[in-house]
Amino acid sequence: MDWIKTILEKHTKEDGTVDVEAANKEIDAEFPKNAVPKTDFNSKVEELRTANETLTTLQNSNKDNEGLQSKIAEYETEVQRLKSEQAEITKSYALKDALTKEGALPDYIDLLLPTFKDLELGEDGNLQGLAEALEGIKTSKPALFQAADPEPNKAPNITLGGTPKAGAQTPPDAFAAAVQKFI
């Protein structure tokens, strides 16, 4: 959810507070681009489960009826369509997450997605060959990714002069001179 962090950082004021209203507006606008609403995902899973249950019931109870067999074939096609749709959604969001973690600029993430269309989801739910593909695209199109800070912000290195050398003239004390004016 790096996109939310980016939005919050963008709307953080100098005093450290967050402009919640502006951040919420931008989050609401960016949410459909970066996440699938849980209700949509759950409804697809429920549709898939219902289709599988219906298919099994029809196959077991009506093996001789040709009309029902054609209905079963339709349901099998529907189940395959839903499975491929769910796989595409999972693949798309896995890619968006990986691109965000790799520092892709938010405006270009959707433009980069077609580049990875040949990647397949593995049994573990991860995209096969993603690391190699990301390295290739980062090398060929570095402008689409945020440049890493070569050196993180360091605290300033403050050193004190110590004891002056013998015979060295010390600069006049500005505070003492100011006090002397008023005495």
CB 104 within 8 A of CB 68: no
In a domain, 151, yes or no: no
The tally of domains found in the chain comes to 2
Q: Are residues 29 and 44 in the same domain?
A: no
Judged against a pLDDT cut of 80, whether residue 66 lies above it is answered with: no
- Residue whose structure tokens are 């269309």: 117
Determine the 3-state secondary structure of 17 from DSSP: coil
118-174 confidence digits (pLDDT tens): 888 777 777 888 888 888 888 888 888 777 655 556 666 665 566 656 666 666 777
Residue range of the domain that includes 25:
1-35
Residues 22 and 96 in one domain: no
**Average pLDDT for 37-50:** 85
What's the chain's length in residues? 183
Residue 153 lies in a domain: no
Q: CA torsion sign, 51 to 52 to 57 to 63? A: positive
